Structure 1
Amino acid sequence: MSGPHTTRWARAFAQALTATADAATVDDAKGLLTTAAPALNVNQGFATAKFPLPNGRVARPRLLVEQLTSQQWARLEDAICAHPDATRLAGGSAVSDELADPARTAGIPLLPAPHDISHTCTCTPSRTTACPHSLAVGLLLAARLRTAAAPLFTLRGRAHHHLKKRLRAGSMGTPLPRQSPPPHTEPPAPAHHEITPAPRPVPAQLPPIPQPADLDLTAPHPVLAGPLPEPPAPLLPLPVLGALADDAAHRAQALLDHDNDVPPLCPGTGSDVARFLSLPHGAPFREQAMAHLGLGTVGLGHLTLAHIHGGPAGAATYLEPSTVDHDVLARAQADIQPLRPAPTATVECEDNRLTDSAAGVQLRYGPDGRWYPYLAPYGTWQPVPGPSADPALAYRAARRAIRAKRHGR
């Protein structure tokens, strides 16, 4: 079966891009692409690239596109998932251009209109219209859309993998809840009537404090002959209390053994749950951990790998995306550019993640300042060994992992 058609994405995007530009600027933009093939960086709301200038400096244009709101994405994804052939239309890397018709997406167009597009560039900061550099960025993106529309999803505010994940879950009979903001509720209007204060509760009589007992701390005492009784509610069950005591003892011993050189825990409970599960006293609580973190068996396995490869920071990087300054992502993309097997393919940027889909590699920036390599051999990104503060070293680690899988190692 042939894949879905995608050429309409490119043609329609190019038409919207050039609708308000003069012919000379469009020709200059096309000329730039015949002499250079810059790396395209696609982010939520804008795409950018670098072009050399005659004076030896570099132009950094940005093509800005209006993002869809959370409510619009929720309606759009609902409409796509309701289609009986949704997996064929949008479940792969090549999204069918049938979805370029707003009638298929709840009347919400994925393709931006000309008024949704604006331009900036460092070549002429005061310029308010498109320059050849920013138009070249748009034409470069249009060329990418001929084979895959995923960058368009990111540009409009939500990466394509969110929709693919929802479609995969729906095909297994466990549809994911759509991403939508909590409903807005207005506070009730104050009532204009007298309020009678509730009577203050009478404190309960406490039992008297017992007299201190005479204890012999020098004589030996027998060990408990039987199990302890279950603690009363609302205390935790005995196995849980025992595991917590074992974990506190393990943590204290680690601090003593390593002279306080123990990796700190990251914000949130996820990284500590991963550390807890990696120890013998935490193994019996895998089911509770999956329910607490909202992970399946595969997800928990990937969390375990993330902790093995990167400790608490690796686990936190796997569990939650974070916000990273664009300059950090741009420098990392420049560092990995010479290593990419398809240097002209699109690199997608979302949150703290650089995704090189053509190479099958993703790098995630962690709270410890290291880049964590990921592969997706079965369609889901999973961590591999080799985190590094140098994104090039992390990228090389991911490429080594790919070669090892191909050779069955």
Structure 2
Amino acid sequence: MTRRDQIRRDIPLNELAPHDPPAPTPAAADISWIRRDAAERAADLLANAAPPLASLVDAIRLLADRNDPELAQAVIEYTGLRSAELARLRTAFTYGGPTGVEVMLQLAGQEPEITADGDTMNSAATTIDEIRSRASAPVRTNHNGIIDDAEKLQICLGPDGRWYPFTGTADGGWAAVRRPTANPAAAYEAAKNAKRQRHG
């Protein structure tokens, strides 16, 4: 058991109240959720985990914890995101957690670009070209991304040293499709398989 898990286990959380308190106090379910969220944040801090997330990434994390249409609409109105963009960010969190959202935002131009080591990128690009069709044009690199324009696939090297697989979307964007991996070839194959499954 990790230090973080031990701390989370030791933080007392009361059972859900049987009845909602009188208005305007939040409902019992909301109070329970707020208490649990606060406890998990405290556990992260006590375990010297990552510092609190940026506001948008944090909002995506909260949405991943609960199915709340009102909260989703509030995030859309506050950020100006389209519902499809918000859905993709939620998917990115599902696969890659906060770092997955960070990489996704970087792809969308909403976070500073992540520039990876040139040798690392070139080596990964060569590895991917070796497993692709010889008739295809070589992949290209862009900052932390390796892009297959012909197949509309991309893998991005995150700040955690893992490769995040994406497939192109109809509107010219990118969608996270699988969990990240330390192996660029495996990430590329994951993106390729996800595209194949989506299109049958």
TM-score between the two structures when normalised by the length of structure 1: 0.37
- Taking CA–CA contacts closer than 8 Å with sequence separation of 6 or more, which of the two structures ends up with the larger relative contact order? 1
Aligned to 2:65: 279
The 5 Å alignment of 1:153-232 reads 226-228=22-24
For the residues of structure 2 that align with 1:225 and 1:244, how far apart are their CA atoms?
Answer: 10
Matched, 1:329 2:118: no
Matched, 1:390 2:186: no
Alignment check: 8 A CA contact 1:247 1:276 kept: no
The 5 Å alignment of 1:4-403 reads 226-228=22-24, 246-247=33-34, 249-253=36-40, 260=47, 264=50, 268-280=54-66, 283-320=69-106, 321-342=113-134, 345-378=137-170, 379-403=172-196
| Matched residue type, 2:37 | H
For the residues of structure 2 that align with 1:334 and 1:267, how far apart are their CA atoms?
Answer: 35
For the residues of structure 2 that align with 1:381 and 1:266, how far apart are their CA atoms?
Answer: 26
| Matched residue type, 2:99 | A
Q: 1:346 to 1:225 in 2, by over 3 A?
A: closer
Larger % of helix: which? 2
Give CA-to-partner distance per residue, 1:309-338, whole Å, 9 cap, x none: 111111111012422222221122122121
Runs of 4+ in 1 over 3 A off after TM superposition: 242-248, 253-256, 259-262, 264-267, 291-294
| Matched residue type, 2:129 | Q
For the residues of structure 1 that align with 2:20 and 2:174, how far apart are their CA atoms?
Answer: 50
Provide structure 1 residue ranges, at least 5 long, that are not aligned to the other structure: 1-222, 230-237
| Matched residue type, 2:60 | A
Q: 1:374 to 1:290 in 2, by over 3 A?
A: same
For the residues of structure 2 that align with 1:339 and 1:261, how far apart are their CA atoms?
Answer: 41
| Matched residue type, 2:191 | A
Alignment check: 8 A CA contact 1:355 1:361 kept: yes
What's the offset of the Cα at 1:281? 7.1
For the residues of structure 2 that align with 1:255 and 1:360, how far apart are their CA atoms?
Answer: 41
Q: How many pairs align? A: 173
Q: Percent identity?
A: 27
For the residues of structure 2 that align with 1:383 and 1:224, how far apart are their CA atoms?
Answer: 39
What's the offset of the Cα at 1:392? 0.8
What's the offset of the Cα at 1:292? 3.4
| Matched residue type, 1:300 | L
Matched, 1:404 2:192: no
Q: 1:366 to 1:280 in 2, by over 3 A?
A: same
Alignment check: 8 A CA contact 1:347 1:357 kept: yes
For the residues of structure 2 that align with 1:224 and 1:396, how far apart are their CA atoms?
Answer: 50
Provide structure 2 residue ranges, at least 5 long, that are not aligned to the other structure: 1-18, 107-112
Name the SS for the 1:278 alignment partner: helix
Q: 1:351 to 1:302 in 2, by over 3 A?
A: same
Alignment check: 8 A CA contact 1:275 1:312 kept: yes
Between structure 1 and structure 2, the one with the greater Rg is 1
For the residues of structure 1 that align with 2:70 and 2:35, how far apart are their CA atoms?
Answer: 17
Alignment check: 8 A CA contact 1:360 1:376 kept: yes
Aligned to 2:16: none
| Matched residue type, 2:118 | H
